[in-house]
Structure 1
Amino acid sequence: MRPKSPRLAVRAIIVENDRLLIVNAWPDGQSPLMCAPGGGAEVHSSLPDNLMREVFEETGLRVTVGAPCLVNEFHDPNGHFHQVDVYFHCTITPDSPRPDTWRDTENVVTDQRWVTRAELEQTPHKPDSLADMAFGGASLLYDPLEPLVK
């Protein structure tokens, strides 16, 4: 039997005032692991359109999607989960609402924070190269397959 194909997802690198927006997308906060906002790509919708939808669902923010900047693969070596994330630089649109509080429309995101590089380094997060991409000025990175850590 052929293994299931990897899941394709999109994620947003949103940096404002030297702070990166990160979220916890583990249902019921089952893990402290944080990541960039985003999620699974739906068929018949472009990657940027998927990303705009996912960011709004998770944060209430409207974004403009820029250039891709990181491709990351991760998997659960003891299970069947394998995902490929395509990250894009994004900016919040000038007309975007800026809610003080926001509840993910699918009730998956349990936390969202704006963090500095130093704060990110003290926060469990994936991928390992997130800080370099967000704060290091790298133009395009490829993260080889890394284990998903809870």
Structure 2
Amino acid sequence: MSMEFTDYHVRLAAYVLLVDEVDGQERVLLAWWNGEGHSDPEWSLPGGGIDFDESISDGLVREVFEETGYHVAPGALLADDHFTARGRTFDGWFRSQRFVFEATITGGELGTTEVDGSTDHAAWVPLAELEGQPRSHIVDVALAAWKAKK
């Protein structure tokens, strides 16, 4: 299907991939997306939709704090991905353009700060335990880019 850019809506989203090592075990910071009543819950990367009047960097910092309680300094672009679908809240098609950045935690403490949002909690999940867990495709995109860069 081919459409001009004026024929569809666009949703910009930015996420971080934070991986560390504790006691010789690599783990990734993930946010538990609750499905918002229309999908099954699953792990996702911390981040989300960029508001109309904010930069991608500012939106990323805001979203990560809301979902994890951590303040971050965004780093380099690690990966990008997109998908298209029909809108749930409007009639028509949309393109979800997603960017994944490296980042550094600069403060805060683990704990979801948003109230009645799409994220129920965040956790450091060992990579060895991630297999078989319900997770968003963006998690796999980010981890593949991270592994390729190592």
Q: Secondary structure at the match of 1:6?
A: strand
Whose helix proportion is higher, 1 or 2? 2
Q: What per-residue deviation string (whole Å, max 9, x for no partner) do you get for residues 119-143 of structure 1?
A: 2222222223232134x1438xxxx
Shift of residue 20, structure 1, vs aligned partner:
0.9
Matching of residue 131 in structure 1 with residue 138 in structure 2:
no
Q: Tell me the amino acid that sits aligned with residue 15 of structure 2.
A: R
Which range moves more in the overlay, 73-82 or 4-13?
A: 73-82
State the partner residue of 1:118. Answer: 128
Partner of 2:104: 91
- Paired with 1:124 and 1:86, the residues of 2 have a C-alpha distance of 21
- The residue type paired with residue 13 of structure 1 is L
**Structure 2 segments unaligned to the other structure (5+ residues):** 1-5
7, 15, 18: which one aligns with 2:19: 15
Q: How many residues align?
A: 135
Contact 1:59 1:104 in 2 (8 A): no
What is the DSSP-based 3-state SS (H/G/I as helix, E as strand, rest coil) of the residue aligned with 2:80?
A: strand
Residues 82 and 34 (structure 1), Cα distance of their counterparts in 2 relative to 1, 3 Å cut: farther
User: Are positions 1:51 and 2:60 aligned together?
Assistant: yes
Percent identity over the alignment?
Answer: 29
Q: 1:70-99 CA deviation, whole Å, 9 max, x = no partner?
A: 101123379745311011001111xx1214
How far apart are the structure 1 equivalents of 2:130 and 2:8?
33
Q: Is the 8 A contact 1:7 1:84 kept in 2?
A: yes
Q: CA RMSD in A?
A: 2.7
Query: Do the aligned partners of 1:13 and 1:20 also contact (CA within 8 Å) in 2?
Result: yes
Q: Which amino acid aligns with 2:142?
A: L
The equivalent residue for 1:143 is none
Distance of aligned partners of 1:16 and 1:28 in 2 relative to their CA distance in 1, 3 Å threshold: farther
In structure 1, the gaps of 5 or more residues are: 140-150
Flag the structure with larger Rg. 2
> SS at 1:42's partner residue?
coil
1:71 matched to 2:83? no
Higher strand share: 2
Give the TM-score taking structure 1 as reference length. Answer: 0.75
Match for 1:132: what amino acid?
A: A
